[in-house]
Chains A and B, each alone.
Chain A
Amino acid sequence: MKSIDWKPPLLVLAVLLGALLLIGSPSTWFTLTVAGVAMGLLIFLMAAGLTLVFGLMDVMNFAHGVFIAVGAYVAVSAMKLASGAAGADSLLVNLGALVPAMLAAALAGGLLGLFFERVIIRPVYGQHLKQILITTGGMIVAEQLIHVLWGPDILQLARPAALKGSFLLGDMALEKFRLSAVVIGLAVFAAMLVLLNRTRIGLLIRAGVENKEMVEAMGYRIRRLFVAVFVAGSALAGLGGALWGMYQESVTVHIGASMMVLIFIVIIIGGLGSVLGCFTGALLVGLVANYIGFLSPKVALGSNILLMVLVLLWRPQGLYAVGK
């Protein structure tokens, strides 16, 4: 198979080690690292669809945050409906609440994505400025609808009973929910790698991200593929939103919009259209946000922008440039 470019993963490793030196205490470092990886993987879930959508069709979708928000809100309602099972003493019963809630969040994200693609984005193919304006407008309208449906207040999104609290490893605490987020994020990443590298659809997506015109000249309808990727990406955003809401244990209407800055940083760092880049970039952003949040809270957001600038100075097309 293909050789992998190992420099970006080494950069992640360097960040991990550098942080250990700066932070000093291994247990603090460990907690921050787990938090950073969990956050990074959740950002990856939310960002993966957007990077493919941009790569395939050059579509700038500023409404992506709405798919995140709607996933989080649907999860709030679903968990409330299943609050008995979510509060029960058994992990298995908890999963009976959590899994349907996550699926409902993904479904809601996917359906809203389908609607956006059909109604809002389709008329403005190839016109970036219009895409930005109209998707931003769509986002505002959708946020208002969320207000109407769920009200303006901050809502609680409780974790299921078995995922509250931490495991203790010596003096190091490992939050159960963070660990679950890591597991889910890695599972989705692995599934995406298999899909992209081992299936014909994946082959078409990778080729389409590189050169859409050539894929069409070979006789394939890339539009249908794009709709499928758009919906799948929106569903992942919905799932990511639900998990992110649970990570923070609360949900506001801006939960998606507030993540968009980090998401854009991630897909730019990773290289537009690259899933591997998105994954690596998300880890970097999650780790840096947590390390700097601890070391010097005032510059937390600035630190990720600085990270982006440094990466782009090193590799102007992002960590894993997609050959156009």
Chain B
Amino acid sequence: MPEPLLTLSGVHTHIGHYHILQGVDLAAPRGELTMLLGRNGAGKTTTLRTILGLWRASAGGVRFDGQDITRLDTPAIAARGIAYVPESMGIFAGLTVHENLLLAAREGPLRDERLEWIFRFFPPMKKFWDLPAGNLSGGQKQMLAISRAIVEPRKLLLIDEPTKGLAPAIIQNLIAAFAELKKSQTTILMVEQNFHAARSLGDSVAVMDAGRVVHTGRMADLAADEALQTKLLGLSLEAHQ
């Protein structure tokens, strides 16, 4: 088997005096979408932030694309080809849609074909091109946050709860867009609470609890096993809908 694009081994993270991650082992295979599930407070967001160096791992290691990135600072980690869509979306409200994308395109000018590709997923990005991002609706902000992450090809996308707080119709849009994005073989590590989204998009899955990964496997297997869902996630995923 080829080495996964991303591997966390025995990662511990402290935030202040709190010991949040307590030995996380996790892998994101190349070209797959790995779903990271778990109850509220399980440590999913902390895991993504630790990968990016926004929190420092106090023990353990993070390997990305064959190299140890544990000790690198955040800009250096991102520059290796990792894009981040945080839970809060992190868009720049005072910048226009255009300017948000311009900033995300580190390598140079925006490429027309790439933009057309993005506009196909997210037509409002074209429509509101020159509008300050702060004026967008919640769903459009999420679209912008994702567009920003894919405005240039990146090796790995870290996406934290993209459907959180969005209306069902918008969620359907996003799921369709991610399904389309998956065809480009981008490796994605996604945190998701919405079962429908998780099941339809996930290839592999990792479930966290209390700062550890307590289950890994294929998403399809977990989706088919309600008893396991109940055990790992408290409620069955079905009930999350």
Q: Which label, helix, strand, loop or mixed, suits the secondary structure of the B interface?
A: mixed
> A218 within 8 Å of B by Cβ?
yes
Q: Which residues of A contact B121 (CB under 8 A)?
A: none
Interface residues of A in 178-225 (CB under 8 A from B): 200, 203-204, 206-207, 210-211, 213-222
Task: Please judge, given known A-B contacts A216-B75, A218-B78, A218-B104, whether A211 and B130 are in contact too, CB under 8 Å.
Answer: no
> A323 within 8 Å of B by Cβ?
yes
**In the complex, per-residue mask of B66-89: 1 if CB is within 8 Å of any chain A CB, else 0:** 000000011100110001101000
> A322 within 8 Å of B by Cβ?
yes
In the complex, the chain A residue whose C-beta lies closest to that of B145 is A214
In the complex, the chain B residue whose C-beta lies closest to that of A209 is B94
Please state if B92 and A219 are interface contacts (CB–CB under 8 Å).
no
> B95 within 8 Å of A by Cβ?
yes
Q: Which residues of A contact B134 (CB under 8 A)?
A: 323
The distance in angstroms between the C-alpha atoms of A50 and B12, with both chains bound, is 38
Please state if B92 and A214 are interface contacts (CB–CB under 8 Å).
yes
Residue in B86, B93, B102 whose CB lies within 8 Å of A323: B93
The distance in angstroms between the C-alpha atoms of A220 and B84, with both chains bound, is 13
Please state if A214 and B86 are interface contacts (CB–CB under 8 Å).
yes
Closest beta carbon of chain A to B158's beta carbon, Å: 9
Chain B contact residues (Cβ within 8 angstroms of A): what range? 20 to 34
> A7 within 8 Å of B by Cβ?
no
Task: Please judge, given known A-B contacts A2-B132, A203-B99, whether A217 and B92 are in contact too, CB under 8 Å.
Answer: no
> A169 within 8 Å of B by Cβ?
no
> B214 within 8 Å of A by Cβ?
no
In the complex, the chain A residue whose C-beta lies closest to that of B107 is A219
> B15 within 8 Å of A by Cβ?
no
The distance in angstroms between the C-alpha atoms of A217 and B54, with both chains bound, is 8
> B90 within 8 Å of A by Cβ?
yes
> B103 within 8 Å of A by Cβ?
yes
The distance in angstroms between the C-alpha atoms of A196 and B73, with both chains bound, is 27
Closest beta carbon of chain A to B111's beta carbon, Å: 17
Interface residues of A in 201-260 (CB under 8 A from B): 203-204, 206-207, 210-211, 213-222
The distance in angstroms between the C-alpha atoms of A219 and B53, with both chains bound, is 11
Residue in B73, B83, B93, B130 whose CB lies within 8 Å of A1: B130
Q: Which residues of B contact A219 (CB under 8 A)?
A: 75, 78-79, 106
Interface residues of B in 129-162 (CB under 8 A from A): 130, 132, 134, 148
Q: Which residues of A contact B54 (CB under 8 A)?
A: 213, 216-217
In the complex, the chain B residue whose C-beta lies closest to that of A207 is B92
Residue in B75, B93, B95 whose CB lies within 8 Å of A203: B95
Task: Please judge, given known A-B contacts A214-B92, A217-B74, whether A203 and B132 are in contact too, CB under 8 Å.
Answer: no
Task: Please judge, given known A-B contacts A203-B103, A207-B103, whether A216 and B74 are in contact too, CB under 8 Å.
Answer: yes
Q: Which residues of A contact B78 (CB under 8 A)?
A: 216-219
Please state if A217 and B94 are interface contacts (CB–CB under 8 Å).
no
Q: Which residues of A contact B104 (CB under 8 A)?
A: 218
Task: Please judge, given known A-B contacts A2-B132, A217-B54, A219-B75, whether A211 and B84 are in contact too, CB under 8 Å.
Answer: no
Q: Which residues of B contact A218 (CB under 8 A)?
A: 78, 83-84, 103-104, 106, 148
Q: Which residues of A contact B95 (CB under 8 A)?
A: 203, 206-207, 210
Q: Which residues of B contact A211 (CB under 8 A)?
A: 90, 92
Q: Which residues of A contact B130 (CB under 8 A)?
A: 1-2
Residue in B52, B74, B90, B94 whose CB lies within 8 Å of A206: B94
Q: Which residues of B contact A207 (CB under 8 A)?
A: 92, 95, 103
Q: Which residues of A contact B73 (CB under 8 A)?
A: 216
Q: Which residues of B contact A216 (CB under 8 A)?
A: 54, 73-75, 78
In the complex, the chain B residue whose C-beta lies closest to that of A202 is B99
Q: Which residues of A contact B83 (CB under 8 A)?
A: 218
Q: Which residues of B contact A215 (CB under 8 A)?
A: 103
Question: 7 closest A-B pairs (Cβ-Cβ)?
Answer: A323-B93, A219-B78, A214-B90, A219-B79, A216-B74, A217-B84, A207-B92
* Selected A-B contacts with CB under 8 Å, 30 pairs: A1-B96, A3-B132, A203-B95, A206-B92, A206-B94, A206-B95, A207-B103, A210-B92, A210-B93, A211-B92, A213-B54, A214-B86, A214-B92, A215-B103, A216-B54, A216-B74, A216-B75, A216-B78, A217-B74, A217-B84, A217-B90, A218-B103, A218-B148, A219-B75, A220-B75, A221-B75, A323-B92, A323-B93, A323-B94, A323-B134
